């Protein structure tokens, strides 16, 4: 799947230095971070972290995470150090988190599909292509990570919001 991630981001990823990756990060995820890396491309909604936040676990609602990305309104995406899933963490004081993807690699892939494939498909004629673009994105994510598009997940809310645009 690493090849798929690289292709989804058009190669615009930078491997993370091993000394920036918390020793608590699951081995498979640490390998992904240090060999494939995280996107450096501009994503209008989400910025991936490439700094000490990857080595400084935080606690949210009784779970331990390292931050892997932040969105433009301040929500954080955390890698659950016990399960390896990525959750969106709503504000430091919010008592809410929401499942995003089953792994960091799947989260990075899904964001790449959204940032490039979806945007490039819809851009020529948003009025005519938005609905089909949302369907294509949902299908692409569901084929790789079915739980990510279940009800009440990060992607479900995003896809539903796009469909209402």
Query: pLDDT of 144-164, one tens digit each?
Result: 999 999 999 999 999 999 877
Q: Is the pLDDT of residue 92 over 90?
A: no
pTM of the model: 0.94
Q: Tokens 């920036």 — which residue?
A: 20
In the chain, count H helices and then E strands. Answer: 6, 8
Last residue of a domain, one of 104, 137, 153: 104
Residues 100 and 47 in one domain: yes
- Residue 104 contacts residue 68 (beta carbons within 8 Å): yes
Residues 81 and 121 in one domain: no
Residues 25 and 83 in one domain: yes
Which of 6-10, 58-62, 78-82 is predicted with the least confidence, judged by mean pLDDT? 58-62
CA-based nearest residue to 100, from 68, 74, 64: 68
CA distance 100 to 36: 20
Cα dihedral 123→124→129→130 (10° resolution): 20
Q: For the chain, what is the domain count?
A: 2
- Residue 157 contacts residue 98 (beta carbons within 8 Å): yes
Last residue of a domain, one of 78, 104, 130: 104
Tokens of 119: 């945007």
CA distance 139 to 144: 9
* pLDDT band at residue 23 under the 50/70/90 scheme: very high
Please write the tens of the pLDDT for every residue from 103-132. Answer: 999 999 999 999 999 999 999 998 899 999
Residues 151 and 127 in one domain: yes
**Choice between 142 and 45, residue whose per-residue pLDDT is larger:** 142
CA distance 135 to 133: 5
Residues 41 and 118 in one domain: no
Report the relative pairing of strands 13-14 and 38-39 from DSSP bridges. Answer: antiparallel
Residues 95 and 72 in one domain: yes
Q: What is the pLDDT of residue 45?
A: 87
Domain that holds residue 36: 2-104
CA distance 102 to 74: 22
Q: What is the pLDDT of residue 165?
A: 61
Which of 19-23, 24-28, 89-93, 160-164 is predicted with the least confidence, judged by mean pLDDT? 89-93
């Amino acid at each position: 799947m690493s090849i798929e991630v690289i292709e989804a981001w058009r190669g615009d990823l930078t491997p993370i230095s091993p000394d920036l990756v918390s020793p608590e990060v699951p081995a498979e995820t640490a390998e992904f971070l240090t060999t494939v890396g995280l996107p450096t491309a501009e994503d209008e909604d989400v910025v991936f972290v490439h700094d000490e936040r990857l080595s400084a676990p935080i606690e949210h609602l009784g779970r331990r995470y390292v931050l892997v990305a932040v969105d433009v309104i301040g929500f954080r995406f955390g890698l659950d150090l016990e399960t390896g899933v990525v959750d969106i963490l709503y504000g430091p004081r919010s008592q809410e988190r929401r499942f995003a993807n089953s792994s960091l690699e799947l989260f990075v892939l899904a964001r790449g599909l959204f940032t490039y494939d979806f945007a490039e498909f819809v851009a020529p004629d948003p009025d005519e292509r938005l609905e089909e673009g949302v369907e294509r994105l949902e299908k692409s994510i569901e084929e790789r990570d079915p739980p990510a598009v279940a009800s009440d997940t990060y992607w479900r809310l995003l896809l539903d919001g796009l469909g209402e645009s």
